[in-house]
Structure 1
Amino acid sequence: MGEPHRIGIVGAGWISGAYLKTLRDHPAVAVAAVADLDEARAVTVAEGIPGCRPLPVGDLLDDNSLGTVLNLTVPSAHASVALDAIAHRKQVYGEKPLAADMPAARTVLERAVDAGVTVGCAPDTVLGTGVQTARATIDAGLIGRPLSAVAVMATPGHERWHHNPDFYYRPGGGPLLDMGPYYLTALVHLLGPIVAVTGAASRPRLTRVIGTGPRAGERVPVEVDTHVTGVLHHASGALSTITTSFDAVRTTAAPIEVHGETGSLAVPDPNYFAGEVRLFELGGTEWRVVPPSAGYVDAARGVGLLDMLAAPSPRATGALALHVLDAMTALLRSADEGRRVDLSTTAERPGLVPLTPVATWRSQAGRP
């Protein structure tokens, strides 16, 4: 194994801690620098990582020893940070969505091609044993030909627990762009790319009240739709229905169900890496649990970056993130215009992740 691949993190907020649980001690990478608009926060994060330096963003991008920028900024900054990193000939792996809108996202990928660098994007939760075992079950023909799927994400809204939830209710946020990437990315893994969508959306409240922290009681303006539902037309002929909502208290629905000619599959929450996959076969009498058969075992956020650096064919790609963003923005456009909207992109269905124990994937070396 060669020298670890050196990474610089831009954005030292809450999500950086989740990534560092995976990346801090991984032998394939070295988290060498961290930058944040809040300098004190960058210092705090860097102090917990041996050999890591807190730097201004510009200095981090100028550091030629860094091969990849991990972009953990808010959605409205995803494209600008990615473009700056690409301009410095650095690879980028970012949080979802790829950008707040399609023109910016396309520009990111076009500039990356021109610069000869790789772009990857979350979510990587779909690479865990939950979604991957469901994918393997479908590929093995245990539900027959897949015909349809149902995906549901319903919560009362993140302002109940997040101290600064403003960006969830600004352009680039909302339940679809915030949480939809988990569900749509999973559906592409399970059923393949999407060719068209039909959507509907609503915004029943114009403000939200922060429920906790120093700003508790403060009202946040709502600038995006907070309940989005629609139909996804897959290239395979399968139809998926999706609902993402910040206007529901609770749901009893499975996060994702996939229905085929000879069986139905209950898929665990794609916001998590693991979970129970259950199968009900035609003529059966009960659901049965499907043992894990694919995916990174005991994975956590950051495994998509490791996969990008080490896998022969990376799975959490910018092209897939662009396709998912295309589907989401098309759903919103469909809702606004009251018509079916064809997508302008496609993406290959990512390769199945073999069942990979944590001891194995944690020992894989990244590319130099």
Structure 2
Amino acid sequence: MPNLPEIDAAAPDLEAVFRDLHANPELGFEEVRTAGIVAAKLREYGLDEVHEGIGKTGVVGLLHGRGQGNRRVGLRADMDALPIQEASGVDYASGNPGRMHACGHDGHTTMLLGAAQYLAASRNFDGTAVFIFQPAEEGLGGARGMIADGLFQRFPVDEVYGMHNQPNGKPGQATICRGAAMAGASFFDITVSGKGSHAAMPHQSHDALVVASSLVGQFQTILGRNVDPLDKAVLSVTQIHAGSAYNVVPETATLAGTIRFFRPEVRDLMQARMRGICEGMGKAHGVTVTVDFREIFDVLLNDQDLTDAWAQAAADVVGEAQVDADSAPFTGSEDFADMLQQVPGAYGNLGHAGTVPLHNPGFVLDPGILPVGASIYARLIERRLPLESAA
């Protein structure tokens, strides 16, 4: 089965929605316009209930099928953009300076809207479809915000599914990983407080910048000498800030970055070693080093059986030959993991044309993916909530 014909017929309308969302990106918890468009579209399609303001700017739509079953399946899309100045060159590029949909969330939102439109017209399922449009996925805790606001108490589901675009130059290739599919993540902030001096008399200082620079290299020994080689882990220092003049040894220096892991024990080991190294460097150089960790993402755990369910729905649309249900784990992180801590489910990836990576100013989402993703979402509902006549 290729794309659902009704969704294919609606492809021009879906692309118009996508282009509008792309041209008007909003950061996490600021998706007021986007959420308003989503809610209006869901009401236009005839959903039974539309709820706004869930987790600040989230939207949830409920749609009852033609059957009388009480099972409920959730589908989730994220809505937020990134603080990036767009350089894609497309004619519908961001009109908001310093804001860009560089991760494809505008496409995710559009695909889920396409599935909602089709399912509202057909209602060819038995039970309730729950459409979850989530804010603030990009490290700001949007999933946790919706959960704290009673997402699964107010709108309970038996299982939940999500999907991400992948600019891998392989249109229609659907992949999903069983078990631990995406890494958990901690962010860290480190402050080195020393003693400043004239740069011509550095012996009078306790140089915070020298210590900070040394920490960058020392942290890499954790992966090489402390973490089991069979464990997957990443430690990246992504920021270092110090100084304001050519002739001043700075008093303070700051570092920031992230660690990624697939087991909490590995996270705990890495954090303990980082604290130990910071303490030792502080004593050795007569400075104070403070470390703060923030737990941003859980490990994303795909349910084994529901991984198969996602793969089967994808195969209905793109064909079995285009589906890999045993793909490798990915060291990126995704806060859909927080929803999977509450409800079993699965999260897959859908390839499309173009190879400029995500989170890049030149990223372009291929709009040809829109009816494909919408069809996969729709088939998940039809497969997981089948009518007796269609079972």
Higher helix share: 2
Higher relative contact order (CA 8 A, sep 6+): 2
TM-score range, shorter chain: under 0.3
Q: Provide TM-score, normalisation by structure 2.
A: 0.26
Larger Rg over CA atoms: 2
Q: Provide TM-score, normalisation by structure 1.
A: 0.28
